[in-house]
Amino acid sequence: MYTEKHVVKCESGLYNRQATFFIQKANEFKCSIWIENDDRKINAKSPLGVLSMGITKGTTVNLIADGEDEKEAVESLSQMLTNEVF
């Protein structure tokens, strides 16, 4: 299991187009991936799950992955969250 904590810097957070790109990228990996915020933990490959989190700019989240490509998955998704524009 591999985990990293990040503050979301993308101006619009994970809504609409950004959420779609994030989910598509998450689905490229074989490992299980979750986003954790406060007391909620959702599947990062789930459109409803990601949108229901209401992740906005400035939100602190944990990216958690478990599987053969876990480190690569977390690093790739982390870059998306920490870029101001994606």
Chain segment 43-83, per-residue pLDDT in tens: 999 999 999 999 999 999 999 999 999 999 999 999 999 88
User: How many angstroms separate the Cα of 14 from the Cα of each of 1, 33, 59, 67, 69?
Assistant: 24, 16, 10, 24, 23
Whether the CB-CB separation of 7 and 60 falls below 8 Å is answered with yes
> Whole-prediction pTM value?
0.91
Tens digit of each residue's pLDDT (9 = 90 or more) over 10-31: 888 888 889 999 999 999 999 9
Domains of the chain with CATH codes: 2-82 (3.30.1340.10)
